[in-house]
Structure 1
């Protein structure tokens, strides 16, 4: 007979369409709590736990040095599990019903400046051949489309539509969206394909971006690629694909794009998600305000 945890995994994969990475994270958090209750309360099954036991786990996580955001993520996984148990009528009330998330200090995501983007795309040297062309294209694609790291890795050859100059992106929960491609990026794709076709072997032939060994990219590879090139031109602490996504949104807003358009391009389900980028545009907004308002003489 299938356990509730196994049924929960199926629910996340088949009904919620969560990625394998997300499902693994949820499962790891639930298993971690299971081990805690077994060790501290001699309780094998977590379906009947009370909030005091969860609170005890939270205290142990904080004492172990976990950040508030990490603890909140683990509790979010548990909350989803108990919501699932409610859904299948295994429990009548979630023990996390009145739980309040730990307060986390807001992390300010500092985007790259337009000058830094210009430096990394037009001033620094890239390796000759396939790898250099691929690396520059990846950076430019992140900056000109705002796609996520996982979305870039999962791109297929069929994702590009040269006729409409667009890219089909598979976002969170397998939700598709179409993003436009700039002519300068399409030109880089042409050069990339010329070099890609010369690779001695290609294993993952359906995937758009490959290593020189012909296999699809992974998370660590892409993160290190971005970090490597931006470390040459920027002293910012955070240099990651997500900061490039943040930079895309910020520069779009700074240059007159409306919030709804940026929301659609980013693949956000609500404006609330997109509004986190507006604070970066505040300095630009202040400048426009001060230049335009008649009272500011």
Structure 2
């Protein structure tokens, strides 16, 4: 019964809300963990629709005992909120036990990013001969040159690239399209890449057999490249997205423009980058002003 409800919900997310495969996997993982906990804590026959808020709080206690950070716990709670809203809306549940469940408090962390000086030190072979080397550089440059998400890059198709106008169309969350201008150097790299790639495919980034790259593969590439010049804790594609936004803001780009380039639903998600810029301003003040260090 529980598994059927989860499957119906995931199907709804895929077909009606058109969530990315990566996001769907996150929902699926959270709900399978929750279902497994309910079966072990109570009985295998215990239905998810019969749970009350006190019983769900046992799940919170369990997660906390697993040493999960509060952000991860909140993500799982958000999954349950969406799930129970769906059950109630579709008549599969009468009550929504998540109404009285509050998110746990988290400390606000500023997005990590690479400094411009660190970006300049990242080196690629001047004469790239192999497909693998060229693909690695292209992946890095696309992340930093456009600020696109990992899921957007993996699903990028050749027909979304406008060589004439130097811009790329990406499909973001919920299949929302946006156009991103990119440096001329990226399109020169793209032309080289398309000439030497071993397999002709609608998908831009594939392995030598023509299959789309999987997230972990791309993450390993980015971690390897970033580790050349930085000891930053997180060495992921999202760090390059943060770097892209922070560097644009540092150069005077309008916050609303950055919001559109990143594909954020609201300005609040973009405003976090202003904190990074303020930190840079303070640093410059300390270095440049006669009384900055006093």
For residue 224 of structure 1, the aligned residue among 220, 223, 226 is 220
Cα deviation 1:19-64 (Å, max 9, x = unaligned): 2232232233223222222222225211010011001111111112
TM-score of the superposed pair, with normalisation by structure 2: 0.89
Cα deviation 1:169-188 (Å, max 9, x = unaligned): 01111111111121111111
Aligned to 2:173: 172
Aligned to 1:89: 91
> C-alpha separation between the residues in 1 aligned to 2:208 and 2:17?
35
Aligned to 2:187: 186
Shift of 1:5: 2.8
Q: How many residues align?
A: 289
> C-alpha separation between the residues in 1 aligned to 2:11 and 2:130?
44
> C-alpha separation between the residues in 2 aligned to 1:118 and 1:288?
19
Aligned to 1:110: 112
For residue 206 of structure 2, the aligned residue among 207, 210, 214 is 210
For residue 242 of structure 1, the aligned residue among 235, 238, 242 is 238
Shifted more, 34-43 versus 242-251: the winner is 34-43
**Is 2:63–2:73's contact at 8 Å kept on the other side of the alignment?**
yes
Aligned to 2:196: 195
**Is 1:34–1:44's contact at 8 Å kept on the other side of the alignment?**
no
> C-alpha separation between the residues in 1 aligned to 2:26 and 2:128?
36
1:185–1:87 Cα change, 3 Å: same
**Is 1:121–1:140's contact at 8 Å kept on the other side of the alignment?**
no
Q: Which runs of 5+ in 2 are unaligned?
A: none
> C-alpha separation between the residues in 2 aligned to 1:148 and 1:135?
16
**Is 1:34–1:45's contact at 8 Å kept on the other side of the alignment?**
no
> C-alpha separation between the residues in 2 aligned to 1:21 and 1:189?
25
Q: Which runs of 5+ in 1 are unaligned?
A: none
